[in-house]
Amino acid sequence: MKKQNVVRKGLLRSALVLFLLLATASLFGQTIGDVTMDGQVNIVDALQIARAYVGLDPTPYNEAYADTNCDGTVNIVDALQVARFYVGSIDELCGSTETETPTQTVTPTPTTTPTAGTAEPRVDNPYVGGTLYVDQVWSEKARNDGGAAIADIGTFLWMDRIGAITDGIGLRGHLDAAIQQGANVFQVVIYDLPNRDCFALASNGELRISEGGMQRYQTEYIDPIVEILGDANYRSLRIVCVIEPDSLPNLVTNLDDPDCAEANGAGGYVEGIQYALDQLGTLPNTYCYVDYGHSGWLGWPDNYSQALQVIGNAIKGASKGVNSVAGLVTCTANYTPTEEPYLKNVSTEVIRQSSFYEWNTYVSELPFAQAVRQSFIQNGFPSTFGMLIDTSRNGWGGPDRPTRAVTSGSNDQIVDGSRIDRRTHRGNWCNQKGGIGERPKAAPATGIDAYVWVKPPGESDGVSTADFEPDPNDPAKQFDPNCDPNGQSSYGDGVLTGAVEAPHAGRWNTLHFQMLMDNAYPPL
Ligand code: BGC
């Protein structure tokens, strides 16, 4: 039910309406703002209005008392009004205070959107002193599936198609909710390049280079996002952007794939990323981190040095050159452990010669990310350059986690018995039986701006059956054989994918979510 706007200064009719409203309110012992109907207007009411606004279905909640600025609509401003009222920065909600009489004039609140925040000077590490926005939509799903212990953790919001900008509560709804929560860090993934996910199938996107995808990427995707993020209402937020997971790493190692080869040319990944960095870089409060794969991909010496060139040059080619980014992010949506505690006691030779590590220099993300940062700084990037590591699903706890290093046997016996990474092959990336990892944390180690949760736990990596219905939101998403629980991994001879059954990439998967919870490390 919507109440009409009762404020028409000087008109007898409005006074009468207000009188009736107040009379009705007091008749039922109720005041505007008291949506929980508990006789008080407090922060819980603000929260309930915000929850209703973002599409959750809060209880108790009576919408009849939610239009707290009497502008005829119920939106996030009403929640904000209640919060202001609660902390005493305003002393009345429209027509709500019991001291009012019908003859008093009620002044309308002029704003229809949250008040503009105050910009702060740029900081080096946006996570220091940061309060992360908790994605209300993800949080509700997590809570409903037994995830109360992690449901208040800030995750990234993925803008994974043009429609995501406005569908549901849309980007604006999330930003408004962030303001309402009192957050000052808003985390978003930019993920819609033409020929997206060129080497795999699970997350193929809506845009194609051959169909003018770059033009659409710029005008229908990046520009509207930047316009929304640039709204003065959001300038108090530090907006952290993760830029295009897996894209540039695919240009380092997968150019024999025709889709990736095309993405390496005009209208492809480099052009798109430079455009995104340039446009996002026009806003004073954005902090962009370009995706850098993970140690199990770019950790071999030849890949390592090539990635420095390819990805380093892509960033240097953006307008602000080495200052176009805050840094890089590794392990996005992957499962590689942050650290391999027991392999620290195993000799490097044994590790490199094992089947699992195949001569890769790096067995875990933290040393890889720190080394990459040093290499970038040596390559001309500033010392403020920082790294993020996505730790959302790289915990590897649970009953199968080793508790000490195995010290005797073959190289494989030592390594396989000691590693916490329980995958059948290190290349496996789809719906693995890992666990929730380190919780987001600012400045956890030298050179690391934060451990973050880029991939929201519970969201699928890809559909597990070839016999699938297309995802109506993203019909380009396909079945990738690496997501088949009974199939062979394409990364090693004779090993299974290790995937669990799952819906399309990005869709909620209760089975996987609960497995990740059970195998959390540190335990929950
Ligand atoms: C999917 C996206 C999703 C993201 C986060 C990606 O694999 O393609 O649609 O938003 O994962 O779950």
pLDDT tens per residue, range 253-282: 999 999 999 999 999 999 999 999 999 999
Atom 12 in ligand 1: which residue has the minimum CA distance?
506
Least confidently predicted of 4-18, 354-368, 396-410: 4-18
Atom of ligand 1 nearest to the CA of 161: 9
Cβ count near 276 (within 10 Å): 26
| Residue 334 scores a pLDDT above 80 | yes
Catalytic residue among 246, 259, 291, 484: 246
| C-alpha 203 – ligand 1 centre gap (Å) | 7
105: tokens are: 């004039």
Catalytic residue among 176, 461, 474, 484: 461
CATH of domain 136-247+264-309+321-518: 3.20.20.40
Taking the C-alpha atoms of residue 53 and residue 86, their distance in angstroms, rounded to an integer, is 19
Atom of ligand 1 nearest to the CA of 164: 10
Taking the C-alpha atoms of residue 476 and residue 490, their distance in angstroms, rounded to an integer, is 21
| C-alpha 314 – ligand 1 centre gap (Å) | 24
460-489: average pLDDT: 97
Q: What angle do CA 152, 511, 357 make, to 5 degrees?
A: 90
User: Under DSSP, is residue 263 helix (H, G, I), strand (E, B) or coil?
Assistant: helix
pLDDT-based confidence at 58, cuts 50/70/90? confident
Contact criterion met (CB below 8 Å) for 465 and 458: no
pLDDT-based confidence at 115, cuts 50/70/90? low
What mean pLDDT is reported for the chain? 89
Q: What angle do CA 460, 463, 466 make, to 5 degrees?
A: 170
Neighbouring-strand partners of residue 388: 329, 450
Residue 72 backbone zone (phi > 0: left; psi -120 to 50: alpha; other: beta): left
User: Under DSSP, is residue 238 helix (H, G, I), strand (E, B) or coil?
Assistant: strand
pLDDT value of position 21:
34
Residue 461: active-site member: yes
Helices (H), 94-193: 136-144, 170-181
pLDDT-based confidence at 363, cuts 50/70/90? very high
| C-alpha 503 – ligand 1 centre gap (Å) | 11
Contact criterion met (CB below 8 Å) for 487 and 430: no
Q: Which of 157, 191, 504 to mutate to test the pocket of ligand 1 (most atoms within 8 A of CB)?
A: 191
295-303: average pLDDT: 98
Taking the C-alpha atoms of residue 523 and residue 32, their distance in angstroms, rounded to an integer, is 44
pLDDT value of position 15:
35
Atom 11 in ligand 1: which residue has the minimum CA distance?
506
430-439: average pLDDT: 98
Atom of ligand 1 nearest to the CA of 203: 8
159-164: average pLDDT: 98
202-206: average pLDDT: 97
| C-alpha 246 – ligand 1 centre gap (Å) | 12
Q: Which residue has the tokens 């209880």?
A: 59
| Residue 6 scores a pLDDT above 60 | no
Taking the C-alpha atoms of residue 341 and residue 338, their distance in angstroms, rounded to an integer, is 9
pLDDT-based confidence at 95, cuts 50/70/90? low
Atom 2 in ligand 1: which residue has the minimum CA distance?
506
pLDDT value of position 76:
80
More confident call, 70 vs 273: 273
Least confidently predicted of 108-122, 252-266, 443-457: 108-122
Largest CA distance in the chain: 92
pLDDT tens per residue, range 8-39: 233 333 333 333 333 333 323 457 788 877 77
CATH of domain 15-108: 1.10.1330.10
pLDDT-based confidence at 99, cuts 50/70/90? very low
Q: What residues does ligand 1 touch, defined as CB less than 6 Å away? A: 158, 160, 203, 333, 455-456, 459, 461, 505-506
54-79: average pLDDT: 78
Give domain limits for the chain: 15-108, 136-247+264-309+321-518
pLDDT-based confidence at 7, cuts 50/70/90? very low
| Residue 181 scores a pLDDT above 50 | yes
Neighbouring-strand partners of residue 243: 190, 290
Atom of ligand 1 nearest to the CA of 461: 7
| Residue 251 scores a pLDDT above 60 | yes
Contact criterion met (CB below 8 Å) for 342 and 419: yes
On the question of a common fold for 15-108 and 136-247+264-309+321-518, the answer reads no
| Residue 436 scores a pLDDT above 70 | yes
Atom 10 in ligand 1: which residue has the minimum CA distance?
506
pLDDT value of position 455:
98
